Amino acid sequence: MIRVLLLGATGQVGSALQPLLAPRFEVLAPGRRDLDLSDGEALRSYLHRARPTVIVNAAAYTAVDRVEDAPEVAWATNAAAPAIMAQCAEALGAALIHYSTDYVFDGAKDSPYTEADAPAPLSEYGRTKLAGDEAIMTTPAPYLIFRTGWVYGASGQNFLLTMQRLLRERSEVRVVDDQVGAPTWSRTIAAVTVQILDQAAESPLEFIRANSGLYNLAARGQTSWYGFASAIREDLVRRQCGVGRLIPITTSEYPTPARRPRFTVLDTSRLRDRFGLALPPWREGLEQALAEVAGAAEGEVQA
C-alpha cells in the first residue's frame, strides 16, 4: 500500500489533508512532540525509518513578523527541512509534495504572477520559503511544489477567525485595503492535492516524476484584506450577529515588522492545463468555510 508521510498534520492545510488522505493511503502523521522539523538530524533519521512513498510537507513556520527578529527557527523549518526532505526522497525512491507561498514575490506586478516570474521576497519569511523551494528544485527527487497564499481555515489562527472575533468584540475594525490577493480555503488546497494524487493511481512516484515542477494553487479572483473582511462581516450580519463597522486603511497606516507585497494574485492556468483542475472563486470557498465555522459553533452550543 502507498505510504504517505504527512508533516504539519495539525496546521491549516495538514488538518484538512489528513481526513482526505486516510481512506486512500496508509498515512503517517507525526506530531510536533514526535518530530521537530527544525532538528535536521532527527528529521533525516525519521524519514529513513518511515520509508514513505510520498512525503507531503504541509509544515512551515508562518509567524511572518516574528521571523524578522528571530529567523533561526524559520530558516531551519522552511529552508533546511525541505532540503533534507528532498535529499531523503531521492535516496529512498520517494516523491515530495511541498507548499510554498505568494510572499516570495515583491508585489510589483499588476497582473497575476505565473510560475515563470522571478521571486523577490520583501520579508525574511519570504526568503526562508524561497530557499526551501530552491533547495527542492535543485535535487533529482520527484516533486510537486504548490505555491499558494492568503490561506485560512475553520480552525487554528487565521484571518477569518480573527476577523470574526474582532468584529464581535469591537465597535470598529481597521483593515488594510491596498494589499491584494486571493483568499484560499485550506480545504481547497487539500482537495486539489488529493485529486492529483488520485490521478497517480497506483504509481505516484512515476506520476509525480512525469509532472515534477512548481504550480500555483490559489482561489480564483482577487480582493483586498478589507474586501475579505467585508465578506466575513456580511455573513455575520446575515446571521444576525452584532458586529462593528469596518474602516479601510492603507499599509502605511498599519506598519508591521515584516514588509508585505502589494499584489500577489496567482495565475493557476498551469495547474489547470496539466491536471485538468479549475480552482473555485475565492468567495465560493469562503462561503463553505463560513458554513463550517457556523456549524461547529452550533454544535458546541448544543453540546
pLDDT at residue 298, rounded to an integer: 57
Burial of 110 (0-12, 13-18, 19+ CB in 10 A): exposed
Question: Minimal CA–CA distance to 285: which of 225, 228, 234?
Answer: 228
Q: 97 forms bridges with which residues in the sheet?
A: 56, 144
Determine whether domain 3-153+184-220+264-280 maps to CATH 3.40.50.720.
Answer: yes
Asked whether the predicted pLDDT for residue 29 surpasses 50, the reply is yes
pLDDT per residue as tens digits for the range 188-243? 999 999 999 999 877 889 999 999 999 999 999 999 999 999 999 999 999 878 88
Question: Minimal CA–CA distance to 260: which of 107, 42, 151?
Answer: 107
pLDDT per residue as tens digits for the range 81-110? 999 999 999 999 999 999 999 999 999 999
Domain boundaries, the chain: 3-153+184-220+264-280
Round to whole Å and give the CA distance between 42 and 142.
Answer: 23
pLDDT per residue as tens digits for the range 46-71? 999 999 999 999 999 999 999 999 89
Q: 245 forms bridges with which residues in the sheet?
A: 172
pTM above 0.75, yes or no: yes
Active site residues: 125
